[in-house]
Structure 1
């Protein structure tokens, strides 16, 4: 279905009670890696003549925050004269997704690139109807493939422009975006990051818990070396100290020292070693059982 300008009707101003019930504008967007990977996969599978791709964002929302947990692609075509979005496909996909994840609702839409034009305002108007009475958020993922463009993620909400605003007349107001992931997802994210930065972009197998712990300790050691070098340079007068950095270091090191004194690090280390020992024990027992079964056969 094509999205085009429409003539707005003259409406009476809302009452005071209705204005009080209007939901607040979200102050922050948190997005999970699964949603970002889905957007990037959609961009890689696009047609050659497509400059950008769009899709629906799903998640949960509070009074001040929108949490984007997943997304799915939406078919659309865009020319210099019009933009068409397959709304039936969008609604069918949402119904299927809602059966699997009933807690997730439509919170907005995404697009690749950094071009926000009249068509973006029309698409934003469509998704605002899907998320009413809440505002639809827009996440723009810049892949960095174009020259002069830096890769990154930006979030927006729309604000109508004019006395009698039209759907195609809207200003996109930026809001902060943060990447959020669960602790269980850290191993997979680290594996993808290391694979992407390796020379041949291949990885043999996922790393073990002990290897993850070793890598984390090494990263902490490197960060402590950088902090120590910075503090020594400030004390020697070689670098001008930043009060904000000093307060942050005091808060961070103070909290970590309390945890170490309480034995939290040793307890977590013992738990990791115990899990690794039990896993190796179960694997050895399984191998012995399989060999005994072969011998008896």
Structure 2
């Protein structure tokens, strides 16, 4: 379905963050899970040769000020110099199928690859705003880093109409902070893909055991502590100019009180560990006594 001819779309960078007080339905932050990003990248890799970008629907949950993007699916579309066409029936059919599997996830916006925000982006934004009414639709732009001079990254936007009598093709794209969130299972998968990508051979590695994951986590924490220690020593020696923001962050992190941890969670887990060890020894002793009685009875 064609969306119409081109006009103008504006992309601005405000000096102040988006405030939820002026419009309670305007999201102030976007959280994206790796599953959604992998789906977008897979869609981009499977695109046609003549396609500059791909688009799709974002699904997730929302609150008054935050949106969590949990998954996505591709939407068929085509762009020319005269018009853009989006298969809306395919979009609605895919959403109905997805809604049967995940009824808690709703349409929160759409995605596209590349960093080009043009008039067609404004038209597609207007379509998704109708799908998310009364809430605002978000737009996530994923730059794959393929084009020279364009680093890879993820950006989020909301739109605002322009003019006394705003048209669908005229809008302002206002940036919204985007954060990547991992679950434990997702982090293990991402770490496995990362280690496979940097390995010498292309064969996939086997998932790590819990003990190996613990060892890797301890090594990672040790490496980060060494980096922080090296930075602090360099600043104290005058070799590196100190960054006030980093200094405040380190003071807030390292100066946090550990009284609650020492008195509460640590002691509680220690008591649980001792109880499990005691019960295991008791069961082992009972099993040995039973086996010996069985041998005596047999003799």
Q: TM-score range by the shorter chain?
A: 0.7 to 0.9
Q: How many equivalent residue pairs? A: 259
Structure 1 residues 265, 182: CA separation in 2 closer, same or farther (over 3 Å shift)?
A: farther
Partner-residue secondary structure (3-state), 2:200: coil
Alignment map for 1:132-151 (pairs within 5 Å): 132-151=133-152
Partner of 1:51: 52
Give the Cα–Cα distance (whole angstroms) in 1 for the partners of residues 72 and 257 of structure 2.
37
Does structure 1 conserve the Cα–Cα contact (< 8 Å) formed by 2:24 and 2:65? no
Does structure 2 conserve the Cα–Cα contact (< 8 Å) formed by 1:5 and 1:166? no
Alignment map for 1:2-81 (pairs within 5 Å): 2-4=2-4, 23-81=24-82
Deviation at 1:68, TM superposition (A): 0.4
Deviation at 1:231, TM superposition (A): 1.5
RMSD (CA atoms): 2.6
Structure 1 residues 234, 40: CA separation in 2 closer, same or farther (over 3 Å shift)?
A: same
Deviation at 1:242, TM superposition (A): 2.7
Deviation at 1:22, TM superposition (A): 6.2
Partner of 1:14: none
Alignment map for 1:270-289 (pairs within 5 Å): none
Give the Cα–Cα distance (whole angstroms) in 2 for the partners of residues 175 and 48 of structure 1.
31
Give the Cα–Cα distance (whole angstroms) in 2 for the partners of residues 261 and 243 of structure 1.
30
Partner of 1:158: 159
Partner-residue secondary structure (3-state), 2:239: coil
Residue 91 of structure 1 pairs with residue 92 of structure 2: yes
Deviation at 1:238, TM superposition (A): 2.3
Partner of 1:103: 104
Does structure 1 conserve the Cα–Cα contact (< 8 Å) formed by 2:192 and 2:205? no
Residue 219 of structure 1 pairs with residue 220 of structure 2: yes
TM-score by length of 2: 0.80
Deviates more, 1:176-185 or 1:252-261: 252-261
Partner of 1:190: 191
Partner-residue secondary structure (3-state), 1:128: helix
Higher RCO structure, 1 or 2 (CA under 8 Å, sep 6+): 2
Does structure 2 conserve the Cα–Cα contact (< 8 Å) formed by 1:121 and 1:170? yes
Give the Cα–Cα distance (whole angstroms) in 2 for the partners of residues 213 and 91 of structure 1.
44
Does structure 1 conserve the Cα–Cα contact (< 8 Å) formed by 2:5 and 2:82? no
Partner of 1:205: 206
Q: Which runs of 5+ in 1 are unaligned?
A: 7-19, 279-297
Give the Cα–Cα distance (whole angstroms) in 1 for the partners of residues 128 and 137 of structure 2.
6
Give the Cα–Cα distance (whole angstroms) in 2 for the partners of residues 159 and 65 of structure 1.
18
Structure 1 residues 171, 136: CA separation in 2 closer, same or farther (over 3 Å shift)?
A: same
Deviations 1:35-74 (A, max 9, x none): 0000001011111111110000000111111110100000
Partner-residue secondary structure (3-state), 1:215: helix
Q: Which runs of 5+ in 2 are unaligned?
A: 7-20, 281-299
Partner of 2:174: 173
Structure 1 residues 236, 39: CA separation in 2 closer, same or farther (over 3 Å shift)?
A: same
Partner-residue secondary structure (3-state), 2:72: strand
Structure 1 residues 261, 234: CA separation in 2 closer, same or farther (over 3 Å shift)?
A: farther
Does structure 1 conserve the Cα–Cα contact (< 8 Å) formed by 2:57 and 2:72? yes
Deviation at 1:259, TM superposition (A): 7.5
Deviations 1:222-254 (A, max 9, x none): 111111111112222222333322222122224
Does structure 1 conserve the Cα–Cα contact (< 8 Å) formed by 2:110 and 2:138? yes
